[in-house]
Amino acid sequence: MDGIRFIPNHGSMNNVRILRMSFSTIDEYLHCLDVFPSASEVEFDFSGDFHLQPSARQSMRILSSVMALTLRVLRWGDEPQSLGKFLALLQVPNMKELYLALSHKSQEEWMHASEFIERSSPPLVSFKAYGNVVDNYFFQCLRHLSHVQSLSTMMSMFENEKLSLLIERPKLGQSYACPKLQEIHLEGLCPRLIQVPPEFAAFVLHRWYCSGTESDPPSRIYIVTLCTMFPKDSRPFQPFLDYPGVRQCMEDGLQVHLLDRYNRPIDIDSHDVNPD
């Protein structure tokens, strides 16, 4: 909902459970959270011209009722837009679902997101992350996701050398990043720009086999969903499907779903790249 305005000293509305809002200032977003303290599902969209600077009097909001949070930067414009000052005012301790679509240009977005997740320490089971996911701070976020079972993000994530954080233990006695991960959904594939990198296949195989070889193993990844930007073309997926060991995992129970940009299933041998 766009353009809503609250009268001064607006009383709380405790019966509202779902918020889908867009404002022009951070103060308005924060006031909205104050007016609807019982909301369990919050979805905020930020346009490229929203005002980044909150007033000096704003304090931390502890949102105990929020179970699902979505924050999306819809337009970026010429200047990097960061939600850092907004995230710094939030703590969401009971959140189970988090969807962050952040600016591609801001260099500090995932640093603020990592601090927000660490501060909230929520029992997240689903994490969707879009934007500059090759940023090193993004991988710090993953370190805080000890309960996450489902991860949705961009394929470019697996082009970063920090991918080893998902496979290797940082120190003896510490657990893997995302140790409960069972389902992964990756987008951003197209025949001419990117194919599934071999690092992703190696990651899936590692999680599949190490679950039976270690005393404190991470969960197996049972479901892989890969999405291409073009309809009816399986070629971007071939490096993953042809990676040694992947098809054996599929025979043993790994579910692999290939989708086009309309979320329609793709046959493995289809090569038509002409749009419908």
Token code pair at residue 47? 């346009």
The two structure tokens encoding residue 37: 């303290």
Enter the tokens of residue 252: 């043993």
d(CA 192, CA 204): 24
Count of C-beta atoms within a 10 Å radius of residue 244: 10
**How far is it, in rounded angstroms, from Cα 92 to Cα 145?**
14
- Return the pLDDT at 192: 54
Low-confidence ranges of the chain (pLDDT < 50): 1-3, 272-276
Q: How wide is the angle at C-alpha 122 spanned by C-alphas 119 and 127, nearest 5°? A: 105
**pTM score:** 0.87
pLDDT of residue 276: 44
- pLDDT value of position 24: 84
Number of other residues whose CB lies within 10 A of the CB of residue 128? 15
- Among residues 34, 118, 18, 107, which one has the least CA distance to residue 69? 18
- Predicted pLDDT of residue 274: 45
